[in-house]
Structure 1
Amino acid sequence: MSRSVLDLARGGDERAFGELVGPHRRELRAHCYRMLGSLTDAEDLLQETLTAAWRGLAAFEGRSSVRTWLYRIATNRCLNAIRDGHRRVPPAEPVPPFVPPEPSSRGDVTWLQPFPDALLDGAPGPAARYELRESVELAFVAAVQRLPPRQAAILLLCDVLGYSAGEAADMLATTGTAAKGLLQRARSAVGPPRETLSADSAEERELARRFAAAFSADDVDGVVALLTDDAWLSMPPAPHEYVGRAAVAGFLRARTACGHLARFELVPTRANGAPAFGCFLGGKPAGLIVLGVSDGGIDRVAHFLVMDLPTDFGLSR
């Protein structure tokens, strides 16, 4: 970034401002998504962040990089949104067209939404504990949602973006000692990165292909054969979660036993660093399935019951 671009932006040049913040838009969106668990809210907070940056540019003294300054704004805007509470109000629970079996548990992060791989951009910092793909993996994002907000912010700033605890403390207007304590508690709660197959590897593609073939054919036994023993099925925004092969099989059989429900057509895409499928019934959108794939097989099936699939998933029917 040249000094002239910053000076022009401070003078009200919108094109210069776009040049100033443009390289950071995608990674800021991903950061807001990790903080909030919702792509819809992340888009809103990205716009709020850029608006606040535009209005506050005159006060930017250049003591940090523009990137760090933007992350300071974005993180604190997200914390304000979480504190206000409306961003995490559980959405209405959908009513299935059949009687499902009793779930193994009821999830508490029902606002979680999928994130298109097409929107991912930017390498993590050299001190980051999480790779880019791991930083948007569904289990990680859900775990972040369960943390106290400031713990979540410190974890993301340090372990995903690679800032030091001191730098993160400065961004959140707290002390280095407090930041280190928050980071230690957050790491203990979330645990280390989950081991998965290499992204888009031959093994991952084959498991995804076999899952799609079995699922779209209502072949419950074929789906269950691909699952790990402790696999779970979730369906945000419904809180129902089915854990273990037997529980997942019971749910799938209850659905297929209805008889009047059409079979899904699955169209491949990618979300949250993993294989995903747009679901269609009679040519109409019927949600998005995101898989978690490990060495032992498929250990997570998240069927997001969203009818309006973002164009960033590359799906159209």
Structure 2
Amino acid sequence: MTDARQPSATEAAFIAAVHSGDTARFALITERHRRELQVHCYRMLANYEDAQDMTQETFLRAWKKRESFRGHAALRTWLYRIATNACLDFLEKRNDRTPVPSELPDPDSEVLYLQPYPDRMLPEDPQESVVARETIELAFIIAVQHLPPRQRAVFILRDVLGWPASKAADALELTVASVTSALQRARVTMREQLPDRRLDWRSPATHELSNDERGAVKSYIEAHERNDLDGLTSLLRDDLRFAMLPDPGTVTTTAREAVDGWVSNGLFQRGYDDWRGITTTINRMPAAALYLRTPDDPAYRLFTIAVLRIVHGRIAELTGFDATDKPWLGLPPTLRSGESPSSTSPAHGPRHRSHRGTSTPTS
């Protein structure tokens, strides 16, 4: 992302639209950046619906400030600056957008406002896969939320998008020294939050699922389908981290205790024993979209999404999200009895076979 010395053809057209008051042309040009701006807002806010709102707010602010664009910087840079500040203004007004203490015995915290990000809404331009997998996965999004808002903005602009310090300082109306100091502090926090993860966010990284990941999610769904508790237990690591958002209570538990707990809460009991699943990816992670059919209901209804982090073929983290009333996930709301579910095809990933499956009523 480098500033343009001379406006590009697109930017020249944008300036012409500004001068002529051509709202349709203005909207057409800015709309090309919607997906990447929405991902940027999601990293800042960890909530898909908030990111949608702030992306729209970005376009409204861009129209109001249209006369300020002279083409000295790239249009993309100008829009990112507006989006970043829209998110900072949002965070300043909301006191419910910070991590809260978790129930884990070790000092930890939870991001209860976290929402999944559908892969189909990621930018399609390969260049934009600076939306590298590592910077859209849940662990990264959660870790970023532990940074104070302005530090968060500095970190994303500098270490994720690769902006030079001078450009980030200009966007945030800070000095270069302040940006450098904020970035150093942010990197320390990120290392603490992600001690076992790669920290060079700008180097190339694949977003394809590994064979281990594909195999584990397939086995996870099939174990539920067969009511195979031993098989399910064998898929889980003994240091499994489990959360069902937006409910509080992330826990670290053994595999057997996790399965026993799910059974005691109703899994495989009447009303929670007839499931189907669609294999998909969420936040570029393997996931199962799970459908529940209750007695006397002819249809399986979208109920929850289980997002899995796979380590050496076993499930290390399971994050469940309530999937009801979220049409933006792009999943069919129902599956008919006898219908063969088809897997979703993420914007940047392999197509997966689908399987029938079940999950816990709380996962």
- Contact 1:82 1:88 (C-alpha < 8 Å) held by counterparts: yes
1:68-125 superposed Cα distances (whole Å, 9 cap, x missing partner): 11011000110110110166289xxxxxxxxxxxx64685310100000111115568
Match of residue 291 from structure 2: 280
- Aligned counterparts, 1:118-157, within 5 A: 118-121=120-123, 122=125, 132-157=132-157
Question: Are 1:15 and 2:24 counterparts?
Answer: yes
Instruction: Give, as a single letter, the amino acid of the residue that structure 2 aligns with 1:253.
Output: V
Q: CA deviation at 1:249?
A: 2.9
Cα–Cα, structure 1 residues 3 and 80, in superposed 2: closer, same or farther, change >3 Å? same
1:269 matched to 2:271? The reply is no
1:141 Cα deviation from its structure 2 partner: 0.5
Decide whether the 8 Å contact of 1:197 with 1:293 is kept in 2.
no
Structure 1 residues 289 and 234, CA, compared in 2 at 3 Å: closer, same or farther? same
- Cα distance 1:58–1:198, how it changes in 2: closer, same or farther (>3 A)? closer
1:50 equivalent in alignment to 2:51: no
Describe the superposition over 1:23-55 as per-residue Cα deviations: whole angstroms up to 9, x where unpaired: 211010011111111101011001000011011
The gaps in structure 1 that reach 5 residues or longer are 91-102
SS at match of 1:140: helix
Indicate whether 1:3 and 2:5 are aligned: no
Does the 8 Å CA contact 1:207/1:226 hold for their aligned counterparts?
yes
Report what 1:110 is aligned to: 112
- CA positional deviation for 1:188: 1.1
Contact persistence 1:198–1:204 (CA under 8 A): no
Q: Any stretches of 5+ residues in structure 2 without a counterpart?
A: 1-9, 199-204, 294-299, 335-363
Return the alpha-carbon distance in structure 2 between the equivalents of residues 42 and 190 of structure 1.
22
Report if aligned partners of 2:55, 2:83 keep a CA contact under 8 Å in 1.
yes
The SS at the match of 2:73 is coil
Q: Give distance in 2, aligned partners of 1:131 and 1:89.
A: 23
Match of 2:222 in 1: 213
- Give the RMSD, CA atoms, in angstroms: 2.8
1:163 matched to 2:173? The reply is no
Distance 1:107 1:258 in 2: 31
Aligned counterparts of 1:147 and 1:37: Cα–Cα separation in 2: 12
| CA distance in structure 2 between the partners assigned to 1:224 and 1:287 by the alignment | 20
Could you tell me which residue of structure 1 aligns to residue 308 of structure 2? 291
CA distance in 1, matches of 2:109, 2:229: 23
Q: Is the 8 A contact 1:199 1:274 kept in 2?
A: no
Counterpart Cα distance in 1 of 2:206 and 2:81: 34
Deviation at 1:295, TM superposition (A): 2.7
Q: Structure 1, residues 142-174: CA drift from partner, whole Å, max 9, x if none?
A: 111121111111111112111122211111000
TM-score (norm 1): 0.86
Look up the match of 2:97. Answer: 88
Q: CA deviation at 1:5?
A: 3.7
TM-score of the aligned structures, taking structure 2 as reference length: 0.76
Secondary structure at the aligned position of 2:304 is classed as strand
Q: 2:38 aligns with which of 29, 46, 56?
A: 29
Which residue of 306, 329, 333 maps to 1:316? 333
Counterpart-to-counterpart distance in 2, 1:184 and 1:6: 37
Report which of the two has the higher share of helix.
1
The CA distance in 1 between the partners of 2:86 and 2:271, in whole Å, is 43
Between the two proteins, what is the percent identity of the paired residues? Answer: 34
Q: Deviations over 1:246-268 (max 9, x none)?
A: 44234323224683341332212
Give the Cα–Cα distance (whole angstroms) in 2 for the partners of residues 190 and 312 of structure 1.
28
